[in-house]
Structure 1
């Protein structure tokens, strides 16, 4: 079957109910009504709040017989105060559900707000550590409809949010199974207005999720299978989506790859994210761009234990050189084509906090899924190579 926008439509459950295809955003109100909402709070970021797509979403709710409020006081890397403020807005407006609308920041903040509104503990008491998730008052978690506007984080099908603890300058993962949205409305047309450089960075984030899930040492055969197809979709469609933002087939396939990546990383993430999370907290840099820059340095560090599976991956995605070097060179060529910087220095990140970064990386939950358990000094070494652009 050839790829046409007509056949890139459908509804599926895996496990979230996904309503996918161009034009599906018109059904946001219906999705909310299907979950029993009468007065949802739409949570998004300030950059989207004034755009027609938000007004259209509110109109969709009104057509479904609902009222709808909007909350958009969210930073690009959302912080705990954003979540607290959103929960206050939810309660003040007597809302009964959340529409998580946006890229990673909007989706993560919205899911955390939906969790927090029915709790008696502060947000960071639910950090993904030990059995903290059991502290959640489950019946207090608001129902969620998720509407992604980028193709990168896949947060629309995730059970967690990454929120910055400003007091301690660290990104923390807030987790509970009920944070997974009940319905996803995935409309690739919402991504058409994304600038090329954001399309590139978010697309590389999708690649990092699929790639790290594929390399994870944990046993999850279904996730491994999803990841390799997610990687193939990036290879085939990310350059096209960056080159022509109006290419709805490419936009659709990248939105699918993004969702696949977040489904696959139930198997685990790894060193890219273990480093990207502290760097995002310390330098407020774009998460997808950090992963894109870090990617080859982490692959090289893990080479000794992932070489065989990289050969399998290379064969599956159709690389001429079916080896680790084939995958690495493809990543480097893709980054160059997408104008992704080769080193962290391009983001004004230097080596001044190298010891802190190394230590924070070992403490990040993503570190547990790296193929090699790295020490703080070893993460520091990877970070320094990425600062200098040293691919040796």
Structure 2
């Protein structure tokens, strides 16, 4: 029996304070005041800036005596330039806190803007994956961040690192920036805010969440709590993502997808792997949606990792309640879900070419998240995985 969506209202404290439930965006002014924020800068994307859900949230802050400002000069797959502009808006407006309101784009920029405002070292100095130590330790006091996700995807609201593109000379690079102050002080996870998301974007962002949960579950390292969060995230998405895509007003499904995304974000403290490593350089040089690229790449990486993860995937298949739980039944389940959601099977279907990925092989192999992959992601392996994802060669031998 499915729970009543109105009963799904809770406060969590892992990995930060999360207020989950329908209608809880109304608590935004109180959250700001509890954090000592009186002049918040709301960082959002242009698609949300004029929508009623954002206007109501800003008006509620104003009615409560807060003095919010708005920054929406963003685009998908944002760069450090966007974060620098948001940080300048923060300083110019005399703001004392940041509200990230939107999908992964807005949340990542909000976090990096806070990093720029709170530290004197350049943001590149904090490049490190979870579990690693940045070149510069993060001792600066960052402005408090409130995260209000409007998609169930990246899980940016539940992690202390940010993924952002660095226009590094003539070569755009995706960087992982890590700082404890980038973990939002509070998250308002209100599934009502996700109901306006189009079916295709719901599918793509949901598959982003699935990839994060699955990769964290399979990543090297010992973190039983992260494994448990990731396994539950996969289960929730398998059960509810297709329903959320079919019916955007299904609050139960929307809420479960939103919860699974936060679980995935939190679980990535254990690490990620080849899916993220192969995706990051690709989206740094294209306009492809991160979730869509990850959705395409995930099965190829799973097959590549099979020698190291088959036992773990068998346990996960049992957790999902699959008939004859095992690696093959899980892979079939994953492919079936992709097909049901209308996710393409190949990178070529996304307009990616051999020429485009040829220059990305070394960068993927050297990505910080590649070190967490259970099977080494060498340059040869990265080249093989790109080739297989281009051609739809899920079962063929590696091309060395």
- Equivalents in 2 of 1:289, 1:63: separation in Å? 39
Deviation of the 1:123 alpha carbon: 2.2
Deviation of the 1:137 alpha carbon: 4.6
Q: Secondary structure at the match of 1:77?
A: coil
Query: Of residues 252, 255, 262 in structure 1, which corresponds to 2:255?
Result: 252
Unpaired segments ≥5 residues, structure 1: none
- Equivalents in 1 of 2:308, 2:324: separation in Å? 19
In the alignment, what sits opposite 2:136? 134
In the alignment, what sits opposite 2:181? 178
Cα pair 2:211 2:294 within 8 Å, conserved? yes
Q: Secondary structure at the match of 2:165?
A: strand
- Equivalents in 2 of 1:115, 1:11: separation in Å? 26
In the alignment, what sits opposite 1:169? 172
In the alignment, what sits opposite 1:364? 367
Cα pair 1:204 1:292 within 8 Å, conserved? yes
In the alignment, what sits opposite 2:123? 123
Cα pair 2:125 2:136 within 8 Å, conserved? no
1:159 aligns with 2:198: no
1:390 aligns with 2:389: no
Cα pair 1:355 1:377 within 8 Å, conserved? no
* Pairs aligned (count): 391
- Equivalents in 2 of 1:360, 1:135: separation in Å? 25
Cα pair 1:197 1:242 within 8 Å, conserved? yes
Unpaired segments ≥5 residues, structure 2: 396-400
Q: Secondary structure at the match of 2:162?
A: strand
In the alignment, what sits opposite 1:313? 316
- Equivalents in 1 of 2:324, 2:45: separation in Å? 42
Deviation of the 1:133 alpha carbon: 5.8
In the alignment, what sits opposite 2:30? 30
Q: CA RMSD of the aligned region, Å? A: 1.3
In the superposition, the TM-score normalised over structure 2's length comes to: 0.95
Deviation of the 1:135 alpha carbon: 4.3
Query: Of residues 190, 204, 208 in structure 2, which corresponds to 1:205?
Result: 208
Cα pair 2:15 2:159 within 8 Å, conserved? no
Cα pair 2:43 2:106 within 8 Å, conserved? yes
Cα pair 1:78 1:105 within 8 Å, conserved? yes
Deviation of the 1:190 alpha carbon: 0.4
Alpha carbons of 1:219 and 1:135: their partners in 2 closer, same or farther (altered >3 Å)? closer
Compare 1-10 and 244-253 and name the one that shifted more. Answer: 1-10
Show structure 1 runs of 4+ deviating over 3 A.
133-137
1:322 aligns with 2:325: yes
Cα pair 2:138 2:180 within 8 Å, conserved? no
Deviation of the 1:245 alpha carbon: 0.5
1:148 aligns with 2:149: yes
Compare 195-204 and 358-367 and name the one that shifted more. Answer: 358-367
Query: Of residues 272, 284, 289 in structure 2, which corresponds to 1:281?
Result: 284
- Equivalents in 2 of 1:274, 1:145: separation in Å? 28
Cα pair 1:118 1:137 within 8 Å, conserved? no
